Amino acid sequence: MEVKRIAVLGAGLMGHGICQVAVQVGQYEVSLYDIEQRFLDNGLGMVRGSLDKFKTKGQLTEAQVNEIMNRIHPTLTLKDAVKNADLIVEVTPEIPDLKRQVFTNVDQHAPAHAVIASNTSSISITELASATKRPGQVCGMHFFNPPQLMKLVEVIRGALSSDETIDTVLEVAHKMGKETVLVKKDVPGFIVNRILFPALNEAVALYYEGIADRDDIDKAIMLGLNWPMGPLKLLDYIGADTTLAIGDVLTREVDPKFHVTAGLKQMVRAKLLGRKTGKGFYDWTQQK
């Protein structure tokens, strides 16, 4: 199926980045939906700010920036966002009940041919697909933060995802300039988070047990394992709440060995979520 128009549901940290990649690299028309005008304004502002950086570096002209922005169609109405979409990418918070409701609503208003993909990092694609009358047209399309820079997209096959659905999403991801991996079975955490979460969880445990300081933990992994960023700083980028949600799903649905360390739970209770709240393991309030 040829995709000409995409709807991105959610203008937040990931949503605005996916929107930008779709319009800037993929050359798609994109409807950007969120529930409040301030969320849309913030998302559009971040896209514009990112494009302005390309302009400053001489990689885009002012005319090109304006042309890209004109292909984004913001809306506060879900029905308007999806009514002409060939592909809908859901980028709402990692709350199963919320996502299921979004999928049910999208299914009612999207064209019959449209594919619905979720950017979830941990929730079952099969479960989300069951909230629709088109489970064969549902799959996972998991981008990484920030979508403008990270090259990988995990494409996840649900229990009923059709080959055409998977091929469509793979083609769109490639048109956006991404490398893809196919997750052949719908398992929590997919590939990356299944491997990454235990590392992040153990880094938090090392810190809260007083075994090493923050900077030494990050330095050890950067230099010892050649990571571009230490695990505690990476956790601040991902968000302690998102990391906790992934851990809870892995613990519940895969194996108790993934149990979340008490330190991570404490950070979420204290709203020390990382960049999104200004403080986590690092202080982000003075950084842009």
pLDDT tens figures, 259-285: 999 999 999 999 999 998 999 999 999
The catalytic residue among 121, 122, 161, 201 is: 121
Structure tokens at 229: 């960023």
CA distances from 240 to 132, 200, 267 (A): 30, 10, 7
CA distances from 6 to 19, 30, 110, 202, 231 (A): 9, 5, 11, 38, 33
According to CATH, where is 3.40.50.720 located in the chain? 5-183
Neighbours of 143 (CB within 10 A): 23
The catalytic residue among 16, 90, 142, 161 is: 142
Average of per-residue pLDDT across 239-257:
91
DSSP-derived pairing of the beta strands 152-156 and 138-143: antiparallel
Cβ–Cβ under 8 Å, residues 100 and 123: no
Average of per-residue pLDDT across 249-257:
91
Tell the CATH topology of 193-269: N-(1-d-carboxylethyl)-l-norvaline Dehydrogenase; domain 2 (1.10.1040)
Q: What is the DSSP string of 199-233?
A: HHHHHHHHHHTTSS-HHHHHHHHHHHS--SS-HHH
* Mean pLDDT, the chain, integer: 95
- pLDDT at position 249, please? 87
The catalytic residue among 29, 119, 154, 161 is: 154
> Of 193, 124, 129, 123, nearest to 165 (Cα)?
129
* Percent of the chain with pLDDT strictly greater than 90: 89
Predicted model pTM: 0.88
> Of 159, 160, 157, nearest to 169 (Cα)?
157
Does 174 qualify as catalytic in the annotation? no
Q: How far apart are CA 270 and CA 281, in angstroms?
A: 12
Does 202 qualify as catalytic in the annotation? no
Torsion, Cα of 124, 127, 131, 134 (10° steps): 80
Total residue length of the chain: 288
Does 121 qualify as catalytic in the annotation? yes
Does 193 qualify as catalytic in the annotation? yes
What phi and psi values does residue 160 have, to the nearest 5 degrees? Answer: -115, 5
**CA 155 remoteness from chain centre:** 12
According to CATH, where is 1.10.1040.10 located in the chain? 193-269
Element holding 235 (H helix, E strand): helix 231-238
Domain 5-183 indexed as CATH 3.40.50.720: yes
pLDDT band at 15 (very low <50, low <70, confident <90, very high): very high
What phi and psi values does residue 89 have, to the nearest 5 degrees? Answer: -110, 115
Provide the 8-state DSSP code for 252.
H
The catalytic residue among 118, 124, 161, 193 is: 193
Distance, first Cα to last Cα, the chain:
40
DSSP-derived pairing of the beta strands 72-75 and 138-143: unpaired
